[in-house]
Structure 1
């Protein structure tokens, strides 16, 4: 293993590649970007979170920065509070296995852009300033989400997975005036794994159906990722979840959206039918936010992760805001959205491929795909638009020896299109070896 460093932050297995020495070093490097000399600090409920947070806080104070410690708090709450202080750090590996941990950096209310990451990595750890001090901090995030979402009448199930949303989610739905039932609501105690997208969520599905609830919401350990269960106990696709959020934003009068290029065409079509405009970004939260700032977008996100972003409120994927947004959506609109989204199927897989050959494969793919494509979009791998309902996106993985293949088409065609395109990518890879 080796430490993963990207605009999403630093991630690794605690005690192996993510050591306290590395945590101190990265906190010292980040200190160079903290112009306000103040920084919010939060963590999720991973076993190693407390000791890493302590090391990071000490390193920041050693660099002359005052630390405002939120303790265990969701990533979106930390992003929201970081706006007050000018910077923030969250100790989290999001949905990764429990032995992992990481450090996510916030400047000016958002994650790092690539140029800022490179600037940080090229610097030396900040030293030599008068020591900073640590202060306990509290968050008004729940009240602010509730004020934005408004009241609702849904009955919901909550599965915080023993993560940072424990307590926060319950307070939010109480504030929204909704009936709710909760499981896995005790920090560090959970009947499922950290990633709700990879889990069957049997306990949440049972909670929803046995209590005749309208919806169920499962969050990952830092609450930036949301999975929704319908009244029948079925998991919604991430693209359908994002569509529900976008639909509510459209009901509020929002017209200008940004979505990542791997998001379902259902979102494009839904917004266009209501007179709105959609711009597309590269895959990745920071890329979506960057495009949102460039286009003054009001909302959007990533279909592949159901990552809803409303930049004036929070410039990150916000699982609790998404849950509140969906729970307060008109039921007729919700049913219409889900029916509309069900016309399209997305398949996202990966092909084992040595990282040293990724560039060669991506370079050759346009020639392999152009004959049956109406449009080729380059710049974030290769996206081949087949027709108005169908596309394939091939991207090299930043974290694995793999090439990711994403396909969408009308439900009855998706499987055959995915098989055909995966075989093409495999042939290009074999030729490059």
Structure 2
């Protein structure tokens, strides 16, 4: 069965099975038609298949007259940052997916592609008639740019970084040390990494143990855009990562925020308590950024992926920059107060198998039942039932899998468990009734 996913987040699949070098050639040939600058930055994460995919991608672009600028192994945010200068970018990555997966993320003018651009990449385009482009090795100014934004950290916090065998290896530790932190590193290389590629789903037991006498721990995924925080011997939820990034943005004076519809209510409440304004987007990094661009928002992100976004620096999830921003707050007496407030809300995210041909009918049936049970419903992205000011539930269909996703939150763990249990049972009941 072909598992290749083709979305605005990128093309990805199991390499050699449902995603291969022929696909790379085709998609990069098509992508060439979108590159007005005739320049494209390339980078990759640490997956073994990345080297050959990058070479084929570069060749396809050069064949169409695109000059390629090779960053080699770098985190995704570095490619996004550099693509602002060159006009386009490609990252060879499958983000947090298993090692056997790989893929391509496409960037235009510093942002991911949109729904209008995606068909031009996945549907065959004529090759451009042009002289062959050239390839150049380049280095990035990312670390210098990030240091300038964050500033020196005087409190000298002691930090452990779990690289997860990924591309953050030569960036996150260097940045934090140059900012003034004392840093130790675990799981530096992919060959002997003791955890999975997705820190949001892994237990991070090694990092928890390593941070017992340190102030904080940071865990990255393979391409360095996702960040999970460990503090006081506890793995924090991805929403806490976003919440801490937002707290720093508020400290810097920013007031306009965009949050995905599934982000913790604690983040929205914190923003509003500090005089900020919040708009909600559909789930997905690209949707958050799209609304940011339309509304001139200054910061925000997506809670489910631990993705803090600062548009003035990058139009993507910024795991590495966020680790520096959070580290700069550790000397603040209010840091624990902020963390405790974020921690007081419990989020649960589950999925239930539902054949995609029944997705819409199941959602409609659940919606009818929600309307009788909840006083407020939001249909911006799936259906979100507002239970009270501290509790909600969201049901969304997957665009790429035979699943329906359920998210729930409350400031009471038993209540959150009950909401999730009842909603999963309701989805299953509705599915059984219509198939």
Of 167-176 and 6-15, more deviation after overlay is shown by 167-176
Answer whether contact 1:240 1:337 (CA < 8 A) is retained: no
1:307 equivalent in structure 2 = 307
CA distance in 1 between partners of 2:48 and 2:344 (Å): 42
1:158 equivalent in structure 2 = 161
Q: CA deviation at 1:179?
A: 0.6
Deviations 1:237-290 (A, max 9, x none): 111121111001101100000000000100111011111100000000000000
CA distance in 1 between partners of 2:60 and 2:17 (Å): 20
Secondary structure class of the residue paired with 1:348: strand
Q: CA deviation at 1:424?
A: 1.5
Whether 1:426 and 2:428 are equivalent positions in the alignment is yes
Q: CA deviation at 1:364?
A: 2.1
Number of residue equivalences = 430
TM-score, structure 2 normalization: 0.96
Secondary structure class of the residue paired with 1:35: coil
2:324 equivalent in structure 1 = 324
CA distance in 2 between partners of 1:390 and 1:191 (Å): 36
Answer whether contact 1:31 1:125 (CA < 8 A) is retained: no
Whether 1:86 and 2:65 are equivalent positions in the alignment is no
Of 68-77 and 196-205, more deviation after overlay is shown by 196-205
Quick one: structure 1 residues 313 and 417, their matched pair in 2 at CA, closer, same or farther if it must change by over 3 Å? Answer: same
2:265 equivalent in structure 1 = 265
Answer whether contact 1:166 1:187 (CA < 8 A) is retained: no
Q: CA deviation at 1:416?
A: 1.0
Deviations 1:382-431 (A, max 9, x none): 11111111111100112321100001112241111111122222211112
CA distance in 2 between partners of 1:199 and 1:331 (Å): 29
CA distance in 1 between partners of 2:209 and 2:304 (Å): 25
CA distance in 2 between partners of 1:283 and 1:131 (Å): 40
Q: Which runs of 5+ in 2 are unaligned?
A: none
CA distance in 1 between partners of 2:39 and 2:94 (Å): 23
Q: CA deviation at 1:125?
A: 4.5
Of 399-408 and 358-367, more deviation after overlay is shown by 358-367
Secondary structure class of the residue paired with 1:254: coil
TM-score, structure 1 normalization: 0.97
Secondary structure class of the residue paired with 2:200: helix
Of 24-33 and 326-335, more deviation after overlay is shown by 326-335
Map of 1:223-242 to 2, 5 A cutoff? 223-230=224-231, 232-242=232-242
Moved over 6 A (4+): none
1:286 equivalent in structure 2 = 286
2:245 equivalent in structure 1 = 245
Deviations 1:42-97 (A, max 9, x none): 00000100000000000000010000000000000000001110000000001110
2:137 equivalent in structure 1 = 136
Give the superposed CA RMSD: 1.2
CA distance in 1 between partners of 2:221 and 2:309 (Å): 16
Whether 1:203 and 2:223 are equivalent positions in the alignment is no
Deviations 1:13-70 (A, max 9, x none): 1111111000010000111110000000000000100000000000000010000000
CA distance in 2 between partners of 1:360 and 1:379 (Å): 17
